[in-house]
Amino acid sequence: MRFILTSLLLGAGGLLATAVRAQPTDAVVTVPDLMQGVQQWAQDNLDTNVLAALSQIDPAAVQRFYQDWQARSQGDYVVDMAALRQTARTLLPLLQSREETRPYAAWLQAQMEYLDVADEIRQAAPPPPPTTNQPPPIINNPTPQKERALWVTHETGRPWPAAAKSYVAELKPVFAAQKIPPELVWVAEVESGFDPRAASPVGAAGLFQLMPDTARRFGLSLWPLDQRYQAVPSAKASAEYLKYLYSRFQDWRLAVAAYNAGEGTIQKQLTRHAAARYDEIAGHLPAETQMYVPRVEAVLLQREGATLEQLPPPQN
């Protein structure tokens, strides 16, 4: 039964990614659409014994985790991600228990930090007033300065990921060869915990969690071997992408934000708010991005003693 649940979760996640990529940029993937896709995926991919057992699982519960992750990570409020923490903690060991699902476990393990910090923000919020028949008050996002302080506290004293020592030594020269600060290799800790097997439900893969289109854009092959899972090629593509993003936004915080949210999202907010700096638009970005940028910066501070603002621009 655990295998059935895991398979359905992975199938639902893949379908969500496919549905999102197939829609126009302003389209919304509805729950009925996704559930119909899950049912079709089950018919196409699971054997008859598994199909016979599907009636024992609530399909809405199977679908909800990925749907909630997408909605909350791309939503407006950081604290909303805290609601996924317990479900993710339950799911993680199931994914870790089977070889074929460990890439998804590596992805989810790296995301747990967001859920932990979101929960810290939730617990630190003042209690709601003792009123009746009133919805709980919205917990506003921390300021960018407060977010950076929270993440510095969270990362202080954390040991290096197990695989980081060998990868950092190998990949810093790859970043330096692209004429960008080699310290940015630590993006891999945030993206994958330096686990090259990591694969997300929306199609990102490898140490630097490159999406297929981004990988192809910067010269990687996805077939017959997916180079996103190879350390050096994926690092080179990641460095080239970060270099391009800096050339576009002229700021490392904005470049890192665009690496996570997409350059179109960042440009849209800069234009809408007549802004030029990350702090001016941070509160308008997806919840995950609001935490991603200070998390990257806190990791850099912990590992290299530098902030994003202190990194030099790419060399010509």
- Which residues carry out catalysis? 191
The answer to whether the peptide bond before residue 130 is cis (omega within 30 degrees of 0) is no
DSSP letter for 259, please.
Answer: H
d(CA 3, CA 89): 17
What is the C-alpha radius of gyration for the chain, rounded to an integer number of angstroms? 20
3-state secondary structure of 302: helix
| Amino acid (one-letter) located at 177 | A
Closest by alpha carbon to 296, among 205, 186, 163?
Answer: 186
8 φψ region: left (φ > 0), alpha (ψ -120 to 50), beta (else) = alpha
**Any residues with CB less than 8 A from the CB of 130 and at least 6 apart, and which?**
none
Q: What are phi and psi of 148, to 5 degrees?
A: -60, -40
What does the angle CA 113 – CA 114 – CA 117 come to, to the nearest 5 degrees?
85
Closest by alpha carbon to 238, among 172, 297, 289?
Answer: 172
List alpha helices for the chain, DSSP H. 2-22, 31-45, 48-53, 59-73, 85-96, 102-124, 144-155, 164-177, 187-192, 212-217, 231-249, 252-261, 263-272, 278-281, 287-304
| Amino acid (one-letter) located at 140 | N
Closest by alpha carbon to 236, among 224, 218, 259?
Answer: 218
